[in-house]
Chains A and B, each alone.
Chain A
């Protein structure tokens, strides 16, 4: 007789740190009838949790990951399985010391104590480090090791004490039944179990499990090598599991972590070694466990030499007693894979999670399943963030191969991928290429960021270069020159990456009204910009909707949020067939034509009336350019008069050419996304999803609340009304940098984003909801002549003229609040755009 019930409200597949955390948090949020199983035995079923190094370095440049890690560390501490030992990242190269200054800044932002050490100070804490090769260290006293297996047991016990959970070991999943796109049951070697929800917390096996339901969990099992060296008398003398701070030898991508009398040496330096979920050996076939594969010694020899060089006194005589190729999960962009899968309703992914964020992820998933959103915004981790091209093995492996060796790498915030390029190109790509476009990737699209053919404009406008290589990396003064040229004449901007959804049918208006904050019940030919909220009143997305007919709406959203938004729209479609959702992104290309001469340029090409009277700001109409029908949309993200020109893809090359040729008479400039997304946008104070806007902030705080609230009900309305009734805990502000000169070396520096804003006393600013003030976007405002930062500030600091500091690379620069709220710094009355 099997112990497996025949039905459950939730089935959680996997008893690693993630599955265990999910069941505890679900139970504590009131869920009952949870069944959890794993094919391995408890408490260590043989997945990656069982061989994890179990240490936590809390400092991360990314806010979401830092928040998940800190939450996890707090949970481990509360369970009594968190041992604080401290951790030192050491530098062998000068550029690493600069990275440590950046890490100090992130530590300040997230409120984590940290300190820069000299080599001698490193040796004081860890005397067996060879300081001859060490330039310095970044010390985080709160680094800890945790007992993740014990934590898992405690999590399960908590759920069981609430009468919420049954856990069964030794159950193998054979199939997942799906009907009408919704999960129905899990078929196992011990019988079928019907389930309303299924959570895949199966670590490296997750892609295999999801595939049974026709869903994708885009990760690859990848090898992380580690060895255990001992016995070492100096370590045995500590008499405990860990008595010395963990060393991360950042420039060799290795770490050295005491485990009792031995030293564990682990590496992210070796060649990428990937496996496939289907080919991982079974428990019985494995000599150790399925995720502890045979050590391939040749791949580790370089690391042995480097470890010996770093700790010669203790590593020369000790023996290598244990060595594995441990499996862990890698994803194309390095972030976890969380949330409901794109393909199957109620099939949730809780995968690609490391020990350091496991408990926090469990809480996030449980809150998300319970309330429709989580306290910590899941924007980066949301599994629906991937386009179709990014959800297959080829892409996963290409990207993981590229970033594996960056695990300890110094990654620039604007860094572009080298692999998987030219996947999506605009129909007029050859034209932008001929103009010397430097492409950044946006939603897989090759999008011109600036054009080298505009290099002469730099001198023309007297644009200064950035003197520090880091600040100038993935940046060009040409962007600022393009900006000024557009403001003076006319620019053409490639907007092919725009995501276009056509929503039609008799139920279309009601359906949209239920999703949007602002009313979609506008006249045909008019448009609405609106936030979409989650149930907690935070941003799910923001986008623009055109009403093309009584029952036809065109939704336009950004390239980076296309798949997430598509999932949101699809999830909420009525089942009665009254609304049709079509993703027409590939059917249209969009070209932005903006600037004081935009009207003259477009008018020279069309016989139709596009006057202010016929096509006022915010309206849309189809017009002819020669024999080709295009849709003009009178709107701008850069604060200029002009249009987004929507063109069927097959006509797009012809339209680009006509605009370009006619534009010569008007001095048209090809303008890149550096202007569209940064300089033009910031001068206008426009908010960007994923930067200023996310689930942790409300439209009121973002300055996007309109004077009136529409009568129709919509998702998040109650929370929205509550936010309007209360004083905002933070106000989104535009700040100007008042002095760029580094106090340390006298070089002018330019922030990249995510730096903390501090009081003049150098204190971190935290609002009434516990959120810290950091730079959400940073960039030059060439027309206003200032370097601009956007940041949420508590009301007491959100005062125009208030003097504050921004910390960049561990140095403070004076900043001033220029705008509190959404009023643009450039052309505050929108006269250029609307006139």
Chain B
């Protein structure tokens, strides 16, 4: 084997503060003062890919389906060490419409077939467990199903030896361990690693990197977004019971109220 060929799928998402403000039509997040980032689980997927390639050799392609601005997230992946970047977009996405999980999965599967037809097949497909904004939990599973390869989700540990990928998932009672023959897909969960930051030369290199652009021709899926709603937030209040030893009585009272004394 001349090295692994890994595909990581990432999504551009807003990076809001504690309170998310919507646009007046409630169909988008008001992003005037927001940055966009790579969905956190996927940042970990990129890092996992980098570590696999560092251990076993090979190269990484990062792919996103989204608006042209998602090029920023692709270049970020390049700045930390990814070799190839592919942006799949169309006019609807450029206008801000987020494709539904069905359409996204179909687009990714079609693109994988296109890329594989041009060269070697991918050994590993990495997804984030779910996106930070719409949180559909579907894309990775659908793509794997469409491509006929195995997938496990919620993964917080990946090892590779002798063509077998071992994935670890935290369960209530301990770890579940999965072994899959390649090619295989994994839905990665935050916590699997600590993603690296770009170096200065990395950032500068990423500016010059080629991002391949592919037009998406996929039909829309079955889900349509109507509008967002902001859930009522339960306001919590912090009460300072006191400082030092003088707070002891108040603490005892409180524990009593809570039935713990």
A residues neighboring B (CB under 8 Å) = 229, 279-287, 293-295, 297, 301, 304-305, 307-308, 315-321
Contact = CB atoms under 8 A, between A and B. Distances in A.
B32 A279 contact: yes
The 4 closest A-B pairs by CB, nearest first: A294-B35, A284-B19, A319-B197, A281-B33
Contacts of B200: 229, 304, 307-308, 315-316, 318, 320
B203 A304 contact: yes
Chain A CB within 10 A, most for which of B19, B34, B197, B201 = B197
B207 A301 contact: yes
18 contacts: A279-B33, A280-B33, A283-B17, A285-B16, A285-B20, A285-B21, A285-B33, A286-B17, A287-B15, A287-B35, A297-B203, A301-B204, A304-B200, A304-B204, A305-B204, A307-B200, A316-B201, A317-B199
B197 A321 contact: yes
B33 A293 contact: yes
A304 to B, nearest CB: 5
Contacts of A284: 17-19
Contacts of A293: 33
A287 B199 contact: no
B196 interface: yes
A280 B21 CA distance: 13
Interface string B179-192: 00000000000000
Given A297-B203, A320-B203, A287 B34 contact: yes
Contacts of A229: 200
A301 B33 contact: no
Given A281-B17, A285-B17, A294-B15, A319 B198 contact: yes
A423 to B, nearest CB: 32
Most buried by B among A229, A279, A294, A301: A294
A229 B202 CA distance: 13
A284 B16 CA distance: 9
A287 B17 CA distance: 4
Contacts of A301: 203-204, 207
Contact of A320 (B15, B16, B33, B198): B198
Contacts of A294: 15, 33-35
Given A294-B34, A305-B204, A316 B199 contact: yes
A27 B167 CA distance: 64
Contacts of A281: 17, 33
Interface in B11-64: 15-21, 32-35
- Among A287, A301, A321, chain B packs the most CB atoms within 10 A around the CB of A287
Interface string B211-251: 00000000000000000000000000000000000000000
A220 to B, nearest CB: 16
A301 B204 CA distance: 7
Contacts of A285: 16-21, 33
Question: Which has the most chain B C-beta neighbours within 10 Å: A229, A282, A319?
Answer: A319
Interface of B: 15-21, 32-35, 196-201, 203-204, 207
Nearest to A288: B17
B206 to A, nearest CB: 9
A320 B32 contact: no
Nearest to B20: A285
The interface residues of chain B, by DSSP majority, are classed as loop
B62 to A, nearest CB: 17
Given A284-B19, A297-B203, A320-B203, 17 more contacts: A279-B33, A282-B19, A283-B17, A285-B19, A285-B20, A285-B21, A286-B17, A287-B15, A294-B35, A295-B35, A304-B203, A308-B200, A308-B201, A318-B199, A319-B196, A320-B199, A321-B197
A285 B30 CA distance: 10
Contacts of A282: 19
A658 B4 CA distance: 91
B190 to A, nearest CB: 17
A287 to B, nearest CB: 5
A305 B18 CA distance: 35
Nearest to A317: B199
A794 to B, nearest CB: 54
A307 B201 CA distance: 11
Contacts of B197: 319-321
B130 to A, nearest CB: 20
A307 B197 CA distance: 17
Contacts of B199: 316-320
Contacts of A320: 197-200, 203
Contacts of B196: 319
B38 to A, nearest CB: 14
B175 to A, nearest CB: 30
A286 B17 CA distance: 4
A285 B16 CA distance: 7
Nearest to A323: B197
A228 to B, nearest CB: 10
Contacts of B15: 287, 294
Contacts of A283: 17
B235 to A, nearest CB: 11
A51 to B, nearest CB: 15
Contacts of A295: 35
A281 B14 CA distance: 15
Residue of B16, B18, B196, B200 most packed against chain A (CB within 10 A)? B200
A319 B20 CA distance: 29
Pick the most buried of A283, A284, A315: most chain B CB atoms within 10 A of its CB. A284
A317 B204 CA distance: 13
Contacts of B16: 285, 287
A298 to B, nearest CB: 8
Contacts of B34: 287, 294
Nearest to B196: A319
Pick the most buried of B15, B21, B201, B203: most chain A CB atoms within 10 A of its CB.
Answer: B203
Nearest to B198: A320
Contacts of A319: 196-199
Contacts of B20: 285
Nearest to A227: B200
B244 to A, nearest CB: 18
A292 to B, nearest CB: 11
A245 B207 CA distance: 32
Contacts of B203: 297, 301, 304, 320
A586 to B, nearest CB: 40
Most buried by A among B16, B34, B35: B35
B200 to A, nearest CB: 5
A281 B17 CA distance: 10
Nearest to A293: B33
Contacts of B17: 281, 283-287
Nearest to A265: B200
A297 B206 CA distance: 12
A284 B19 CA distance: 5
Nearest to A286: B17
B17 to A, nearest CB: 4
Nearest to B201: A316
Nearest to B21: A285
A92 to B, nearest CB: 19
Contacts of A316: 199-201
B11 to A, nearest CB: 18
Contacts of A304: 200, 203-204
A301 B17 CA distance: 26
A373 B198 CA distance: 52
A388 to B, nearest CB: 31
A295 to B, nearest CB: 7
B248 to A, nearest CB: 24
A282 B19 CA distance: 9
Nearest to B75: A297
Contacts of A315: 200
A582 B180 CA distance: 88
Contacts of B21: 285
A785 B29 CA distance: 72
Contacts of A286: 17, 33
Contacts of A321: 197
A229 B21 CA distance: 31
A318 B199 CA distance: 6
